[in-house]
Amino acid sequence: MFVFSISARAARTVFCSFFVRSLFVLCSSFVRLLFVNYLSARVAHTICLSCYDCPCGSHQPVWLALSLVTDLVFLALLALLVLN
């Protein structure tokens, strides 16, 4: 009986730590995604405003490039977080 209670307690501890770690990874990934997308939108808006002689719709390649870079940075950070 004593051995079973110790192993059950250890299993609960492992499950709780796994759950907390997974929750932390999920929340931090969501916060990073919001932060990175906000920064890319601000930078793209600044670039668009700096080219005042052309319409904003012509800056689509800049938007795509910034979106690709921020997605790659986010995926690299997520991979580092998961691997550690």
Model pLDDT for residues 12-58, shown as the tens digit of each residue: 665 566 766 776 777 676 766 666 666 666 655 555 554 544 555 55
Identify the weakest region by mean pLDDT among 13-17, 72-76, 77-81. 13-17
pLDDT value of position 2: 47
**By the 8 A CB rule, do 70 and 36 touch?**
yes
pTM: 0.31
Angle at 41 between CA 40 and CA 46, to 5 degrees: 100
- Structure-block tokens of residue 9: 């307690």
Per-residue b/e over 23-52, b at no fewer than 16 CB within 10 Å? eeeeeeeeeeeeebeeebeeebeeebeeee
Those residues with Cβ within 8 angstroms of residue 33's Cβ, 6 or more apart along the chain or in another chain: 74
